[in-house]
Structure 1
Amino acid sequence: MTDVYAFPVLVDCWERLQPWAVARVRLRGAAAPRSVVVKWVETGSAEARTASWRLHNEYAALQFLGDVAGGGLTPRVLAADFAAGLLVLEDLAPRVALDQLLRRDGAATHRERLAAFAHARGELSAATAGQAATYYARRAELGPIDPAADRAGRLARSRDGAVQHAVALGVPLAGRAAAELAAVLDELYEPGPFLALSNGDAEANNILLHASGPADARLIDFEFAGYAHALADAVCLYIPCPAWITVGNPTATGLAGHYRRALVRGIPEAADDRRYGFGLAPACMSWALVRLQRFTLLDTRSPGDDSRLQLIETLEAAARTAQYHRTLPHLTTWVGRIATLLRRRWPDSDQDLTDPARFPPYRARH
């Protein structure tokens, strides 16, 4: 074990936090915390999270963030036993996941929590920009990793699958739009000063905060941690993730400003509108292309399926973001044509997704 408790501990009881390989464990002992969170590597199931590198990533990222961010952004690592596939973390209760609050009460009730979410995403990138070598040196101590190859593979897959679906829909990629897509991939693969640590899943389910009073937010779930374009972590403010149909206009709600002000503290280049826009628009376009790979699956579903609405909004929100920042005009037109064709192909999904009365920010996908 590493970072072992310096006090005797007895397990009182535990509860699994479904559906993940995570449990809250109640402890007994004079100096022990009341509870901890334990993550483990599962075995014996086709769906099990069996890759030990997940725990290696989480451990390295949380330890690294404890050094560079002072421990105010994430839970503390209390113990680790990689041979047994166990990681023990600080329990952040009574904080709850932001997505639970949004589903229960709606976004209008939790504007301050959403602002804390946006700020925390920007703060994470600001605190870690320019320190990739330090992080990967720590991570390499736990096992081999090739961050450049991994990033290139993800980007290539997002491009190739989406282009194939576009061809099937009768919207082949060519000319200036193809050149702009190449520029998108170049920007994301070589982000320059925007290279920062991400947990790999920058969504509202991966931030815990207090339901009332000061949010005191903490980011969680760093199993897929790695360095990437910082503005990829802002995409969740502009484009719906798998949980939502819509997320609203982050500029109008102020979330974009909260995020960007936090980011500028560590990445001054984010204050430049042109540079910022040409980082954000490619990040949004890339995510839209990743989601377009679900076209074949969604095309088999019954009329009225929320996932169809979500895909259309994902494409159109990416196009709106690029238009707002006055960049990628030809790629924006291409993506818009795909969305228009999907509206015709799925008449049940030809709806005004910008109508806040019917589709308020953070309307959940069912």
Structure 2
Amino acid sequence: MIRGAAMSLTLRPTSRILSSFVGDRFLHSTPPLHQLFRYNPGSKHVSMQLSRTFSGLTDLLFNRRNDGLPNTTRKRLKPGKLSPCRPVPGHIERPPYVKSKQPPGIASGPEVHDEKGIECMRASGRLAAQVLEYAGTLVKPGITTDEIDRAVHQMIIDNGAYPSPLGYGGFPKSVCTSVNECICHGIPDSRALEDGDIINIDVTVYLNGYHGDTSATFFCGNVDDEGRQLVQVTKECLDKAISICAPGVEFKKIGKTIQDHADKFRYGVVQQFVGHGVGRVFHADPVILHFRNNDTGCMLLNQTFTIEPMLTVGSFNPVMWDDNWTIVTEDGSLSAQFEHTILITEDGAEILTKS
């Protein structure tokens, strides 16, 4: 999943709360806790998005499930070979960050839409859902993640859209494929899926100037009970979180809802990666924390954002491969993720990326 099979694999602990898609600008030193969890609106950047203040820090960091051992019969992921970047026809509109070749800062302010914007968001969300559903049908033992990327890339451009991850901060592929202990940002490569794997496929499309962002975790062949339960509970966490969304609801209720359910199964909730506003830009306010927090802010009518919890069987501490993208669990234990883009409506929340 990184630049080449011969490349040495280095795992580095991540040390920031990050947006769901970040790039290669991690800080590799660990700052003091009061700095680590400080939010500075004057220097926001998508790869350095920190939480606002929250309570219960000791409980969050040290009282989660860290005693579980990874499945010793499953092989750890290793880097594979990358194919060349796939071309996009010139007539397809590209997000601004592709032309600049610079990682964009996170947009200040929420993504709140008028009627036309809502229809554009529905269109991009619908295409993202269709692409994800198709990608899921490809999951079987023997297929490589690069083959999944090729199929996803082709379907997106065939529909006149741009694959949002491609060229974002240097990301080389059109979709993220995160297998087994990979928490997120797995780069499609030559590794073939094996019987018993689980794989998260994260699809974002840029259509008519709007991004639709979604992901799901799929079973490859005969997945054991541990993997099946983790995937099921992760999906339940997302569904429960969406069900409480409505105008005026505090964002912190999302994290409480997710962690309350994960706690019942003693699963870890990854804290360094968050949901985000999405629409005309790939990442915008608000920051959506998936764990208990004391963040401020309430949901707005006609606002769009993602919720994307990542749960683990064992340690929820992430480490990064030296491709500066691939994030895996510290102990090699399984991780699963689900994601939807939602629209806040008068009646609650509309899932824009539902197939």
Same structural fold, with TM-score higher than 0.5 when normalized by the shorter chain = no
TM-score by length of 1: 0.28
Structure ID, larger Rg: 1
Q: Which has the higher helix share?
A: 1
